[in-house]
Amino acid sequence: MTVTDVDVDRWIAELATRLSERQSEAVSVISASIREDIPELRDEAQIALFNSSVEGNVATALHALRYHIPVDRVEAPTTALEHARRVAQQGIPLNVLIRMYRQGQRRFTHLVLGELKSIDIAAQARIAVVERITETLFAYVEWMSQQIVEVYEDERERWLETRNSARAVRVRELLGGRKPVDLDSAISAIRYPLRWHHVALMLWYPAGGGEADELGRMQRFVRELGAAAQTDASPLFIATDSSSGWAWLPYQSAPAGVVETVRRFALGRRDSPSVMIGSPAAGVEGFRQSHDQAEAARTVALARGDAKPIVLANADPGLAAVAMVGGNVEQARRWVADVLGDLATNTENDERLRETLRVFLACDSRYKPAADELVVHFNTVKYRVGRALARRGRPIAGDRLDVEMALLLCHWYGAAVLRRP
């Protein structure tokens, strides 16, 4: 017996007609099967829309089978598109939605093949019908998936942008401190435990990095940092533009050693942004305080003008003090030159002398501890200190505090507060 395409079309049309008469039953079976296998889709508030999505897809697929409509001419049902939007808004991963269609395809195929058994068709013809139905349903799901994915991704991007914008507004209100804070409402709005202890971060990629999706890389960095730093809840991340953002690491109790943990993590990553680290602090005031400290460190980092990412912390010795210079870098440069004289010149030799003198003074003017810290010989420290004082042109007995502050400014701001050779 020769099986023609006309014969196959006729039997498939008959199958589709029979299933259309039992469409409600088919929808119920497919819906139940999907919900059982994919728990992420069991939200009771969305069940009606989910069922409508399944019903729309079953009706559309049966219509295509019955009238031999090419699947690439079929538009996704309105209810299916709306369900994809709701799934995106709920934060359910896209692969869950794709699994739903694959599971629906598998269950629908079983129903079609079950109905086929009740039709008297020769074996050869039955094989041809099964092949055609399998191919058609596969093509249908592929085409529907393309349309669903596009809707999902558009909605997810739009919804995240709206949600994150609202979240960012609340965070900025908290940082501003100009309004009384309803703590429970704020916690719910930004989804972050404000009553806990916080370590604030400022992050950015230096200009001209040329990498794509810098914001995505930064979000991934913060998420992985949270795991490495063993936070007690998910970190809070707020994008400030396409290549920079703010973050907070939450802890139920005061964390020990977290600043060094963050530093090691950032320095160990090739894709790390510049990271400024505030000190741990508690509650809403701590949320603001740690952020302000990270922001102060950022003013130092930006004034330095480093081309590559750097890591600075408010806890770094002297950094908080020199950060108060803020936008008065030009004034600081003039003051440093007055205090240090020729020692304020931007050369490698003067840098070595300044650093030796800074460490020497920090060690209570003791040569041996300074030598140990600098990992040089005792006599080397003595020689460099003498050369540093000679470059300055006068002793430091009368203005030691000014000298130490000037050396700190040179240490942290670098060329920004030095004069040209």
Report whether 66 contacts 20 (CB < 8 A): yes
Beta bridge partners of 197: 251, 282
Dihedral (CA of 299, 304, 305, 308) sign: negative
Q: Are 194 and 248 in contact (CB under 8 A)?
A: no
Total-model pTM: 0.62
Long-range residue pairs from 400-406, CB within 8 A, at least 24 positions apart, any chain? 400/361, 402/339, 403/339, 403/340, 403/357, 403/361, 404/358, 404/361, 404/362, 405/321, 405/322, 405/339, 406/335, 406/336, 406/339, 406/340, 406/344
Q: Are strands 236-241 and 244-251 parallel, antiparallel or unpaired?
A: antiparallel
Task: Indicate the burial class of 182 (C-beta count within 10 angstroms; 0-12, 13-18, 19 or more).
Answer: exposed
Q: Give the separation between CA 178 and CA 182, rounded to whole angstroms.
A: 13
Q: What is the pLDDT along the chain (421 residues), one digit of tens a residue?
A: 466 878 888 889 999 999 999 999 999 999 999 988 888 777 766 788 899 999 999 999 999 999 989 998 999 999 999 999 888 877 788 899 999 999 999 999 999 889 888 888 888 888 888 999 999 999 999 999 999 999 988 888 777 666 677 788 889 889 988 778 889 999 998 999 999 999 999 999 886 454 556 777 888 899 999 999 999 999 999 988 777 889 999 999 999 999 999 999 999 998 899 999 999 999 999 999 999 999 999 999 988 888 889 999 999 999 998 988 766 888 899 999 999 999 999 999 999 999 999 999 999 999 999 999 999 999 999 999 999 999 999 988 889 999 999 999 999 999 999 999 8
Q: Which of 151, 76, 131, 137 is nearest to 106 (CA)?
A: 137
**Assigned token pair, 24:** 């409600």
372 by Cβ neighbours in 10 Å (0-12 / 13-18 / 19+) ranks as: middle
Residue ranges in 305-397 assigned as alpha helix (H): 319-323, 329-340, 348-362, 367-374, 378-392
Reading phi first (left if > 0) and then psi (alpha if -120 to 50, else beta), residue 68 is in left
Sign of CA dihedral 16, 17, 22, 24: positive
Identify the H or E element spanning 204.
strand 197-204
